[in-house]
């Protein structure tokens, strides 16, 4: 991953409370991982989540999200 510079973004569903994570795009296909980090600490540690596990995490978040 060192040779590539991921583009970090926060979900549009994130509130302004600061309890957000950021994910990086562009590495799922080439490396099979989705980098995740704390939005409050962009220079902190990065968790590299496998694509299937990340897809499961997103599905779980969608299923438990309160109705708008």
Half-sphere exposure of 8 (CA within 13 A, CB side): 15
Q: Note the pLDDT tens digit of each residue in 10-59.
A: 877 676 666 788 999 877 778 889 999 998 888 999 999 999 999 998 89
- Measure the CA–CA gap between 47 and 15, rounded to whole angstroms: 21
Q: Is 21 exposed, middle or buried (0-12, 13-18, 19+ CB in 10 A)?
A: middle
Is the pTM value of this prediction over 0.75? no
Confidence at residue 51, expressed as pLDDT on a 0 to 100 scale:
92
Confidence at residue 53, expressed as pLDDT on a 0 to 100 scale:
94
The residues that bridge with 48 in the sheet, in sequence order, are 35
């Amino acid at each position: 991953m060192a040779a590539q510079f991921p583009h970090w973004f926060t979900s549009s569903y994130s509130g302004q409370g600061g309890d957000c994570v950021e994910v990086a795009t562009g590495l799922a296909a080439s490396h099979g991982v989705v980098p995740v980090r704390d939005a409050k600490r962009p220079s902190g540690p990065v968790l590299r989540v496998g694509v299937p596990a990340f897809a499961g995490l997103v599905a779980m978040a969608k299923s438990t999200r309160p109705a708008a």
